[in-house]
Amino acid sequence: MGSQLGSAGLLLVNTLINIYLFLLMLRFLLQASRADYYNPISQSVVKITQPVVRPFQGFLGPVMNRFDLATLAAGFVIKAVSIIVILQVAGFGMPPLAGVAIGSVAALANAILKIYFFALIVMIILSWVAPNASHPGALLVMQLVEPIMAPLRKVIPPLGMIDLSPIVAFIAISIIDGIVVGSLTRAAGISGALVGL
């Protein structure tokens, strides 16, 4: 019974860390897509993640071009430390540091792909029910997915009222998730549950 409670506790901690990692990668993607910084949702994401990102901004400096390296570094370190701590507490001992590093990169990639996956679903639903929505959340989703949708729309123009580019985006996300994230997770030798799969 005690071991079941312990594993449930570790699972809960891992889930909470993955949710926070999701917020960190959302912050990274909002910056990369040049989404409206003053949007209330953007402001909330920055406020929640700033305590963890601030120390990394000290030695990585300000955002370079569109890529916020401090946020990436914060996400990487948090995930790496969580993998080590969870495996130690679970009684697996100290994992190889190379495996931890690869697993952390896989977790960051997995979080980014999940954000795009869910954002695309929201974008499709909005295009059906509220194509001209002005809600801050709707605007943010559109700004987030536009950098990946614009190049696809150039290659795959809409067929009348039907836009096939989201389908291509979903297929690309699935392939990247299966090949890249899956390969990294296997190479890390760490459970997919720890990575966030």
Q: How far is CA 76 from CA 69, 90, 101, in A?
A: 10, 21, 8
pLDDT of residue 163: 75
List the chain pLDDT tens, one digit each, 197 residues: 445 546 777 788 888 999 999 999 999 999 988 888 888 999 999 999 999 999 888 776 666 667 888 999 999 999 999 888 888 887 777 778 888 899 899 999 999 999 999 999 988 888 778 777 778 888 888 889 888 888 888 887 777 777 778 888 888 898 998 888 888 888 877 766 666 65
Vertex 135 angle, CA 17 and 137, to 5°: 15
**What's at 195, amino acid-wise?**
V
pLDDT of residue 188: 77
Q: How far apart are CA 194 and CA 184, in angstroms?
A: 13
pLDDT of residue 38: 86
Q: 143-174 as b/e, with b when 16 or more CB fall inside 10 Å?
A: bbbeebbeebeeeeeeeeeebebbeebeeebe
The token duo for 93 is 């001992």
pLDDT of residue 60: 66
pLDDT of residue 78: 93
Q: How far apart are CA 16 and CA 22, in angstroms?
A: 10
pLDDT of residue 1: 41
Contact in structure between 24 and 78 (CB atoms under 8 Å): yes
Total Cβ atoms within 10 A of residue 137:
13
pLDDT of residue 197: 52
Q: What is the pTM of this model?
A: 0.85
Tell me the Ramachandran region of residue 64: left when phi exceeds 0, alpha when psi lies from -120 to 50, beta otherwise.
beta
Q: How far apart are CA 172 and CA 111, in angstroms?
A: 15
